[in-house]
């Protein structure tokens, strides 16, 4: 399609992405005397980022943001097995302390959801999660609507339905070309640009390139807006990248491909960690990690992400793995109640027949499972089999940034005028065992940091 170009506009700062990271940055910039323009791909109030469909837990590596620096820093290193960039770990552990007071001052309501420390600050009213449904009365959507309202009330320029297409250097900073809802193309020049448009989980080609040859077959357990546009533009302009091969998500019923009732919850994570995962032929798939998030990446990297089944006995189904935690919808009873696949039999031979698996291959896999130290043999009937697949919520890798949220080249040198926050960035999430350290808290913290950095540079007259 041919686009008609408008006369280029200019602003002191442009934010690409009106999600949680972008809007925290936008509001904080206003408070610091900077007037940014926000381009949001979604065409609805509150945006179409992952925040609006999230469970709303704001935690730093499962510690509340107002925990001590030492507690958060220790957990960040432990969750990522030391792979987190130490500079970013220090920034996140220290600066996340400001997020909860700041959000409360903005009118964002949070409450403790369960007795778990990680749920101390959960966006309220609590959202259990039902696919990509926009539920404006729930906490996540209300939080985003509040930030949008506050930004606009302070005179902010927020352009919905505006998809960033290209980034290139300009004499006064950077020029971003974008497509408006009307289909027309426009451009805007800014002395600095903050990219906060999420990861590339909704881009099957990029998943296949960076995660696994068939990773694009995984369920998109997220909003459809994360297509890696900011990452692509930043890499095209010399940014370094880190950790692009890992993802965050959960393991869901295969039938989540056909109904939103089965995602983002219930997930089958605990059953997969303690039960037996087999492929289409009935051969055991070694979990190979201590974390369900790590298993999601391993499954996504496999040649057949849609070909797995988890088997378990009644003890697991009736116990904590089946009943779940954190106040979220659990496999038992939600998988069968919502129409998800679940085969049940009194013997594993019968179960193999129901699943179309050769009995002898399943028997060999069960013997392998029983021989693994730390795993309990599956002996209590009835026995269950649930076909499943990895669901990707966001990609953990992205562009290299410093503790000031400034984008860096592969050699670590900053690229003047370019910043990134949220899932556009790498170096924070990820590790051999998953390494999930919290999406909302990380997004808000580095959005907050980026705003302060940009405002300081504006005051100093530095591009």
Query: 126 vs 142, 260, 327, 333, CA distance in Å?
Result: 11, 18, 10, 20
Q: DSSP per residue over 68-79, as a string?
A: -HHHHHHHHHHH
pLDDT digits (tens, 9 = 90+) for 10-21: 899 999 999 999
Burial status of residue 4 (CB atoms within 10 A of its CB: 0-12, 13-18, 19 or more): exposed
Q: According to the model, what pLDDT value does residue 148 have?
A: 98
Q: Which residues of 244-272 are buried (b: 16+ CB within 10 A; e: fewer)?
A: bbbbbbbbbbbbbbeeebbbbbbbbbbbb
Q: According to the model, what pLDDT value does residue 3 have?
A: 41
Q: According to the model, what pLDDT value does residue 131 have?
A: 67
Closest CA to 28 of 457, 459, 454, 462: 454
Is 27:150 a contact under the CB 8 Å cutoff?
yes
Burial status of residue 383 (CB atoms within 10 A of its CB: 0-12, 13-18, 19 or more): buried
Q: According to the model, what pLDDT value does residue 130 have?
A: 65
Residue 96: both structure tokens together: 């996340």
Q: According to the model, what pLDDT value does residue 95 have?
A: 98
The architecture (CATH level 2) of 9-245+396-460 comes to 3-Layer(bba) Sandwich (3.50)
Q: According to the model, what pLDDT value does residue 132 have?
A: 67
Domain boundaries, the chain: 9-245+396-460, 249-392
DSSP classification of residue 344: E
Residues of the chain with pLDDT below 70 are 1-8, 129-132, 462-463
Q: Which residues of 102-141 are buried (b: 16+ CB within 10 A; e: fewer)?
A: bbeebebebeebeebebbbbbbbebbebbebebbeebbbb
Q: According to the model, what pLDDT value does residue 278 have?
A: 98
Instruction: Report the alpha-carbon distance of residue 366 to residue 284 in Å, rounded.
Output: 8
Parallel/antiparallel/unpaired status of strands 343-345 and 276-278:
unpaired
The architecture (CATH level 2) of 249-392 comes to Alpha-Beta Complex (3.90)
Q: According to the model, what pLDDT value does residue 324 have?
A: 86
How many C-beta atoms surround the C-beta of residue 281 within 10 A? 12
Q: According to the model, what pLDDT value does residue 105 have?
A: 98
Q: According to the model, what pLDDT value does residue 1 have?
A: 39
The structure tokens 């408008």 sit at 6
pLDDT digits (tens, 9 = 90+) for 317-350: 999 999 987 778 899 999 999 999 999 999 999 9
Q: According to the model, what pLDDT value does residue 316 have?
A: 98
DSSP classification of residue 417: E
Determine phi and psi for 449, rounding to 5 degrees: -65, -45
């Amino acid at each position: 399609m041919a686009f008609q170009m408008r006369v280029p506009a200019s602003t002191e700062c442009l934010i690409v992405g009106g999600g949680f990271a972008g809007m925290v940055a936008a509001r904080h910039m206003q408070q610091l005397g900077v007037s940014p323009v926000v381009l949001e791909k979604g065409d609805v109030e509150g945006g179409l980022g992952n925040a609006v469909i999230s469970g709303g837990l704001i935690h730093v590596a499962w510690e509340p943001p107002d925990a001590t620096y030492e507690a958060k820093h220790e957990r960040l290193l432990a969750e990522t097995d030391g792979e987190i960039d130490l500079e970013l770990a220090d920034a996140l552990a220290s600066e996340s302390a400001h997020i909860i007071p700041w959000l409360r001052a903005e009118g964002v309501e949070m409450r403790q959801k369960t007795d778990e420390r990680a749920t101390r600050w959960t966006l309220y009213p609590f959202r259990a999660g039902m696919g990509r449904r926009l539920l404006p009365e729930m906490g996540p959507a209300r939080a985003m609507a509040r930030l949008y309202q506050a930004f606009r009330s302070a005179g902010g320029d927020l352009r919905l339905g505006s998809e960033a297409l290209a980034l290139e250097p300009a004499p006064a900073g950077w020029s971003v070309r974008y497509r408006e809802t009307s289909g027309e193309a426009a451009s805007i020049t800014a002395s600095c640009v903050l990219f906060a448009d999420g990861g590339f989980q909704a881009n099957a080609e990029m998943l296949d390139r960076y995660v696994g040859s068939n990773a694009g077959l995984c369920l998109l357990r997220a909003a459809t807006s994360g297509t890696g546009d900011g990452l692509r533009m930043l890499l095209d302009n010399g940014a370094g990248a880190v950790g692009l091969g890992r993802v965050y998500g959960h393991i869901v019923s295969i039938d989540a491909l056909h109904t939103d009732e089965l995602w983002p919850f219930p997930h089958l994570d605990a059953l997969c960690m303690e039960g037996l995962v087999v492929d289409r032929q009935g051969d055991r798939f070694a979990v190979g990690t201590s974390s369900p998030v790590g298993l999601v990446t391993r499954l996504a990297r496999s040649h057949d992400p849609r070909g797995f089944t988890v088997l378990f006995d009644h003890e697991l189904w009736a116990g904590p793995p089946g009943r779940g935690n954190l106040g979220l919808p659990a496999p038992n009873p939600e998988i069968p109640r919502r129409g998800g696949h679940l085969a049940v039999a009194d013997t594993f031979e019968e179960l193999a027949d129901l699943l179309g698996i050769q009995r002898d291959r399943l028997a060999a896999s069960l013997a392998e499972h029983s021989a693994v130290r730390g795993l309990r043999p599956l002996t209590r009937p009835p026995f269950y089999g649930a076909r499943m697949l990895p669901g990707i919520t966001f990609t953990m890798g992205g562009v290299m940034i410093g503790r000031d949220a400034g984008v860096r080249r592969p050699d670590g040198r900053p690229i003047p005028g370019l910043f990134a926050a949220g899932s556009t960035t790498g170096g924070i999430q990820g590790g051999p065992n998953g390494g999930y350290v919290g999406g909302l808290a990380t997004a808000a913290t580095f959005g907050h940091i980026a705003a302060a950095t940009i405002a300081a540079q504006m005051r100093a007259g530095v591009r």
